[in-house]
Amino acid sequence: MTVSFSDLGLAQTLLSALTTEGYTTPTPIQVATIPHLLKGRDVLGIAQTGTGKTAAFALPILQRIATEPRRLVPRSARALILTPTRELAAQISTGFATYGRNIRFKRALVFGGVGQMPQVKSLINGTDVLIATPGRLLDLMNQGHVRLDFVEMLVLDEADRMLDMGFIHDVKRIADRLPKERQTLLFSATMPDSVTSLAAGLLKNPERVEITPTSTTVERIDQKVMFVTRENKRGLLAHVLKDRAVTRAIVFTRTKHGADRVAEQLEKSGVSAQAIHGNKTQTARQKALESFRNGNIRALVATDIAARGIDIDGISHVINFELPNEPESYVHRIGRTARAGADGIALSFCDAEEVGYLKTIERTIRQSIPSHDDHAFHAVAIADMRHSTRPKPAQKRQGQAARHRNGGGKPAQPKSNSSRNTPRHAQAKRQQKG
């Protein structure tokens, strides 16, 4: 039986906002979370962006604000949502506005990188919902512009990323100033020990709700790995982007510098592209996102942190120019192409040094990522190699691994049928030793 939004116990004002928004059925995380939150329970939710988790926490908060109206206390908030990045904060704020369009409530948004005056002003008379990144919130608290002793509901969104970004002490300091009597919700895509211990300190007897990546986002995405030497990655990217089927692509790099270089290179090869990362100003980031959203640029080159929480529909391809060293980042990255129930394609460029990362990723997502060999590209790349001086050892090994996996070329006679004898495994072993 399909569960509807009204089965979850939501008020008519919220139901009609959802209808206006075109939502017909709740997502699994919404079905699993909303009833507990409406009962006032604490919830520990394991789910990534793209699963509909914003509505899962925003709807019950809005319902409580609507059904238990309170006079606002100056400089305070009834609900506090902590989130790692400004983009995500802005997106959550828009979510509250959308879902709460038929409710009278105030919301305020607080994040760093911009002047604090407008934010301070928005808090003077108090607010119902405060959405904040930890650093700026703590700054404003320390200056006496915000008090947290009236917070009834706390949400920690993307807790794993918040800790990855080094916000653990800020989050703890903020938590120390909150009333003990409150409802708490923690959402995280992954549950490393650091998040488990944070949750243990903040949540009271929580309901645990898990939407595993393998059963949702990850399974719907067509994932491929392309083996390529480091030197040939830029050429391969330009080649992949020649395909007009790639209508809107996010390209991930590991470093900010790398993002800039890749974007420049793409522009040179005639593909409209821009980079976003932590060193860009807020205005530059917003501008790049806007151009990407309205289709003025085809490729957005991003680092993991900058891409966090970006909600852009219709991303046809996620391209991992470099594989992330944390498998969770891989899941976050490819999730960009499966927004709002759509399917997408994720291509990962893997060089000899990254085979170890690939193996860890495959273990985490509990599936092996098939390889994709682009013969047209390799013909060009191999011709290039012939003209260059002797290939480096890594290049040589790389070529062997790719040929073997793809069954192309002339693979050496395998000594046994065991898949553990593939060059890829041998290579990974060598790497682990080194």
User: What are the structure tokens assigned to 419, written together?
Assistant: 């898949």
311, 250 in Cβ contact below 8 A? no
137, 84 in Cβ contact below 8 A? no
Q: How far is the CB of 415 from ligand AMP (least distance, A)?
A: 48
Q: Choose which of 28, 45, 52, 206 interacts with ligand AMP (CB under 6 A).
A: 52
Among the listed ranges 46-54, 154-162, 164-172, 262-270, the one in contact with ligand AMP (CB under 6 A) is: 46-54
d(C-alpha 418, C-alpha 407), whole Å: 15
Q: Choose which of 8, 17, 27, 250 interacts with ligand AMP (CB under 6 A).
A: 27
99 binds ligand AMP (CB under 6 A): no
Among the listed ranges 47-55, 215-223, 261-269, 318-326, the one in contact with ligand AMP (CB under 6 A) is: 47-55
Q: How far is the CB of 137 from ligand AMP (least distance, A)?
A: 21
337 binds ligand AMP (CB under 6 A): no
235, 271 in Cβ contact below 8 A? no
Task: Give CA separation, 381 vs 267, 369, 396, in Å.
Answer: 21, 23, 13
50 binds ligand AMP (CB under 6 A): yes
What are the residues facing 222 on neighbouring strands? Answer: 345
Task: Give the number of other Cβ atoms within 10 Å of residue 188's Cβ.
Answer: 25
Q: Choose which of 53, 75, 298, 397 interacts with ligand AMP (CB under 6 A).
A: 53
188 binds ligand AMP (CB under 6 A): no
8 binds ligand AMP (CB under 6 A): no
Among the listed ranges 52-60, 353-361, 381-389, 410-418, the one in contact with ligand AMP (CB under 6 A) is: 52-60
Among the listed ranges 21-29, 226-234, 256-264, 358-366, the one in contact with ligand AMP (CB under 6 A) is: 21-29
What are the residues facing 317 on neighbouring strands? Answer: 249, 345
158 binds ligand AMP (CB under 6 A): no
63 binds ligand AMP (CB under 6 A): no
Smallest CA-to-CA distance from 244 within 316, 293, 296, 302 is with 316
26 binds ligand AMP (CB under 6 A): yes
Q: Choose which of 161, 182, 339, 403 interacts with ligand AMP (CB under 6 A).
A: 339
d(C-alpha 229, C-alpha 54), whole Å: 40
d(C-alpha 393, C-alpha 291), whole Å: 41
d(C-alpha 54, C-alpha 124), whole Å: 26
d(C-alpha 379, C-alpha 434), whole Å: 32
184 binds ligand AMP (CB under 6 A): no
Smallest CA-to-CA distance from 78 within 126, 139, 23, 9 is with 126
Task: Give the number of other Cβ atoms within 10 Å of residue 337's Cβ.
Answer: 27
398 binds ligand AMP (CB under 6 A): no
d(C-alpha 187, C-alpha 81), whole Å: 11
Q: How far is the CB of 319 from ligand AMP (least distance, A)?
A: 21
320 binds ligand AMP (CB under 6 A): no
Q: How far is the CB of 50 from ligand AMP (least distance, A)?
A: 5
Among the listed ranges 26-34, 190-198, 288-296, 318-326, the one in contact with ligand AMP (CB under 6 A) is: 26-34
d(C-alpha 412, C-alpha 60), whole Å: 61
* Positions that interact with ligand AMP (CB under 6 A): 23, 26-27, 30, 49-55, 311, 339-340
